[in-house]
């Protein structure tokens, strides 16, 4: 991936935003289990950072996806995972399908204010009994006159408590599970929506909610693209979500290794620094190599995505590797911090809690392995089992 001067300018802008507007408040937000998303999103919107890849007609910067990923990578400098995740849900998870397939009506009403930072968005796909298996979603949007009337539940929804609108996946017919779903823009102040906060082991500053929809009425004009295409749109939307997950993790991984080098260099045991034990500096060298390999994989996927290639395979690999590496790095680094690593107010223990999510959210590791195996032609029960040459 060749970065332009424009990429580097954007990098500096985002890094400065993290340093000035996010990191000084992270400790307070983590304790409060929330952050002022409306105020932060407005500041990001004023800088043009919520619509980097989107159409200028709706307030976007009209740049390509690689610029959005530069922002994701720099947001990884934030001293917690919750805030970058909340921003990513808004920029790269609940808006890509709206931008690509939405009508003028939904773009004006939901995309433009999201880009401006006037509203906060969330993505409602998972349900209490449908997480990995998205096709099993049961939330129903039945037609009544010109409206949908929505009944069901959504689970673990990031930004769910504060969001002004939700990109909601709901069944709009009794057709087969992959053809009966639609993505619908739902204003979160609609009558019949209730919310319940979910407490988590990590990602504390990000709000996570269970959402209940009881006969919620929204105009059918709020559907994104074609009715019945929601499952397909969501699978496409997942590619940007998974690449966001990878790109936004890289700098956090580097920071964890840097902090551990610093700590173990100072910390003495048996007359020498902890870092001087070969098992420690070799392990950290190996983890750094893994981060560089993940960086190369991620940017290779981004470059191909920008060129119009289907990157389902590479995005799934990048997401899988990010989840695996998050667990390896945070576990190894925490180990080398000893008892200090086990204390709550410590950057390593926070990363240990926060990054554990990567192997679960946006498609668990096993789901990524299934996708990769399917594309390799090795997944039993799938039609194309011929070995694939790349
Ligand atoms: C903090 C947080 C934020 C989230 N934010 C959002 C959000 O904003 N919007 C949204 O829609 N969802 C969100 N999610 C939901 C997330 O995407 C789901 O948790 C995830 O898809 C996994 O679904 P599940 O939890 O139901 O796990 P399940 O489907 O119950 O699976 C449990 C485990 O079983 C294993 N497994 C599952 N299928 C297979 C298989 N085929 N083969 C082998 N093993 C398998 C995996 O290890 C998996 O972790 C969030 C979750 C969390 C925790």
Distances (CA, A) of 211 to 50, 77, 163, 202, 203: 25, 31, 11, 20, 19
Q: Answer yes or no: 215 catalytic.
A: no
Q: Which residues pair with 13 in a beta bridge?
A: none
- Closest-lying ligand 1 atom to the alpha carbon of residue 159: 8
Of the chain, the percentage scoring pLDDT greater than 70 comes to 98
Query: Residue whose CA is closest, atom 6 of ligand 1?
Result: 157
**Binding site membership of 156 for ligand 1 (Cβ less than 6 Å):** yes
Q: What is the sign, positive or negative, of the torsion defined by CA atoms of 44, 45, 47, 49? A: positive
Can you tell me the distance from the alpha carbon of 263 to that of 268, in angstroms, rounded to the nearest whole number?
10
Q: How remote is the CA of residue 135 from the centroid of ligand 1, in Å?
A: 13
Query: Residue whose CA is closest, atom 37 of ligand 1?
Result: 132
389 has pLDDT over 70 = no
Strands, E, within the chain: which ranges?
Answer: 121-124, 140-144, 147-158, 165-171, 181-187, 193-197, 208-219, 268-269, 272-273
> Of the residues 241, 262, 286, 292, which is catalytic?
241
Q: How remote is the CA of residue 369 from the centroid of ligand 1, in Å?
A: 14
Q: Which pLDDT tens digit goes with each residue over 168-217?
A: 999 999 999 999 999 999 999 999 999 999 999 999 999 999 999 999 99
**Binding site membership of 89 for ligand 1 (Cβ less than 6 Å):** yes
Q: Which pLDDT tens digit goes with each residue over 75-97?
A: 999 999 999 999 999 999 999 99
Q: How remote is the CA of residue 314 from the centroid of ligand 1, in Å?
A: 20
Say how many Å lie between the first and final Cα of the chain, rounded.
20
DSSP category for residue 94: S
The predicted pLDDT at position 345 comes to 82
Quote the mean pLDDT of the chain. Answer: 97
**Binding site membership of 163 for ligand 1 (Cβ less than 6 Å):** no
User: Any idea how long the chain is?
Assistant: 390
The predicted pLDDT at position 109 comes to 98
The predicted pLDDT at position 382 comes to 78
Using the structure block, give the residue that is written with the tokens 């990157």: 311
Can you tell me the distance from the alpha carbon of 149 to that of 131, in angstroms, rounded to the nearest whole number?
23
Q: Which pLDDT tens digit goes with each residue over 11-23?
A: 999 999 999 999 9
101 has pLDDT over 90 = yes
What φ, ψ does residue 64 adopt, rounded to 5°? -90, 175
Q: What's the pTM value of the predicted model, to 2 decimals?
A: 0.96
- Closest-lying ligand 1 atom to the alpha carbon of residue 154: 11
Q: How remote is the CA of residue 245 from the centroid of ligand 1, in Å?
A: 14
46 has pLDDT over 60 = yes
Can you tell me the distance from the alpha carbon of 115 to that of 57, in angstroms, rounded to the nearest whole number?
11
For residue 192, give the 3-state DSSP assignment: coil
């Amino acid at each position: 991936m060749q970065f332009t001067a424009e990429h580097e300018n954007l990098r500096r802008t985002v890094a400065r935003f993290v340093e000035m507007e996010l990191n000084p408040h992270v400790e307070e937000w983590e304790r409060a289990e929330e952050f002022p998303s409306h105020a932060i999103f407005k500041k990001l919107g004023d800088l043009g950072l919520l619509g980097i890849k989107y159409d200028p007609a709706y307030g976007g910067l009209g740049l390509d996806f690689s610029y959005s990923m530069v922002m994701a990578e720099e947001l990884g400098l934030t001293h917690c995972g919750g805030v970058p995740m909340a921003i990513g849900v808004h920029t790269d998870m609940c808006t890509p399908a709206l931008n690509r397939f939405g009508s003028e009506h939904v773009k004006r009403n939901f995309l433009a204010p999201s880009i401006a930072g006037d509203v906060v968005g969330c993505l409602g796909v998972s349900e209490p009994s449908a997480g990995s298996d998205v096709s099993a979603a049961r939330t129903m949007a039945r037609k009544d006159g010109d409206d949908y009337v929505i009944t069901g539940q959504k689970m673990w929804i990031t930004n769910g408590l504060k969001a002004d609108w939700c990109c909601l996946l709901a069944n709009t017919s009794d057709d087969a599970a992959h053809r009966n779903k639609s993505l619908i823009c739902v204003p979160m102040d609609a009558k019949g929506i209730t919310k319940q906060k979910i407490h988590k082991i990590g990602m504390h500053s990000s709000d996570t909610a269970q959402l209940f929809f009881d006969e919620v009425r929204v105009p059918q004009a709020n559907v994104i693209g074609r009715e019945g295409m929601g499952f397909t749109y969501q699978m496409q939307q997942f590619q940007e979500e998974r690449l966001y997950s990878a790109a936004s993790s890289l700098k956090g991984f580097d920071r964890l290794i840097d902090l551990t080098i610093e700590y173990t260099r100072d910390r003495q045991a048996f007359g020498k620094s902890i870092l001087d034990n070969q098992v420690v500096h070799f392990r950290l060298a190996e983890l750094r190599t893994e981060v560089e390999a993940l960086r190369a994989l991620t940017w290779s996927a981004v470059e191909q995505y920008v060129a119009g290639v289907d990157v389902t395979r590479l995005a799934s690999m990048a997401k899988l590797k990010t989840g695996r590496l998050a667990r390896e790095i945070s576990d190894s680094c925490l180990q080398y911090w000893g008892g200090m690593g086990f204390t709550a107010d410590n950057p390593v223990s926070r990363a240990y809690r926060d990054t554990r999510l990567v192997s679960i959210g946006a498609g668990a590791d096993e789901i990524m392995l299934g996708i990769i195996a399917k594309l390799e032609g090795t997944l039993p029960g799938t039609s194309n089992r011929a070995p694939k040459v790349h």
